[in-house]
Chain A
Amino acid sequence: SQQGEEDPQALSIQEGENATMNCSYKTSINNLQWYRQNSGRGLVHLILIRSNEREKHSGRLRVTLDTSKKSSSLLITASRAADTASYFCATAPTGGFKTIFGAGTRLFVKA
């Protein structure tokens, strides 16, 4: 079964607003990653957070990880129209042999 479940499935906001996407997973993990996909192209890695980290920043991105709740969130601040894309969380389960991708959130930022 799929490891990561994301919500919302779709999100539409105005340029300048913040966008928050959530990811939940089921088993213990080594790390959790967030990826971005534009228009069905290849995925681009955004950020990796390890299981012993609680928060990580990269530019306008902020990722949190709560291993007790088995959840993570991705916050994009001051969104831009160019942020319009699908965002996927991906987990590396402890002792696992493959990265498992969540269902994704489709973000639409209106100019």
Chain B
Amino acid sequence: SAVISQKPSRDICQRGTSLTIQCQVDSQVTMMFWYRQQPGQSLTLIATANQGSEATYESGFVIDKFPISRPNLTFSTLTVSNMSPEDSSIYLCSVEEGGMGTEAFFGQGTRLTVV
């Protein structure tokens, strides 16, 4: 099973600034997923990150706001840009080692508060 190290675990940021979240996986995986979880809500997929290509964003999420890097098969970053209080959420990365729709492994999450 994949082990994912996600950091930071939490941060408090000023509005208008940006935060980059990192995820490191202990094995090579084709796809990594970035989710947002607003307070008391379920997970919403932001984008799917493939190595060597542009990330695929879900409806309602754009690259300018959530740029993603995927430089190799074990690492990805998500940046939350020009933050506002509405961006306060938990952000999670995950991988599905067995392919789409199989058991997902998650990082510990990043709890972001924008003030």
Contacts and interface: CB of A to CB of B under 8 A. Distances in A.
Contacts of A93: 101
Contacts of A43: 43, 92, 94, 104, 106
Contact of B45 (A40, A98, A103): A98
Interface string A67-111: 000000000000000000000101011001111011110000000
A99 B104 contact: yes
Given A40-B111, A101-B42, A31 B101 contact: yes
Interface string B88-115: 0010101010001111111111010000
Nearest to A29: B101
A42 B101 contact: no
Interface in A23-67: 30-31, 33, 35, 40-45, 48
A45 B42 CA distance: 15
Q: Dominant SS at the A interface?
A: strand
Given A42-B6, A88-B42, A88-B43, A97 B92 contact: no
Contacts of B106: 42-44
B48 interface: yes
A46 B63 CA distance: 33
Interface residues of B, number: 24
A104 B108 contact: no
B46 to A, nearest CB: 11
Contacts of B105: 45
A49 B9 CA distance: 31
Most buried by A among B41, B90, B103: B103
B48 A98 contact: yes
A45 B4 CA distance: 14
A104 B38 CA distance: 13
Interface of A: 2, 30-31, 33, 35, 40-45, 48, 88, 90, 92-93, 96-99, 101-104
14 contacts: A2-B42, A41-B108, A42-B6, A42-B106, A43-B104, A44-B106, A88-B42, A88-B43, A90-B104, A92-B100, A93-B101, A99-B96, A99-B104, A104-B42
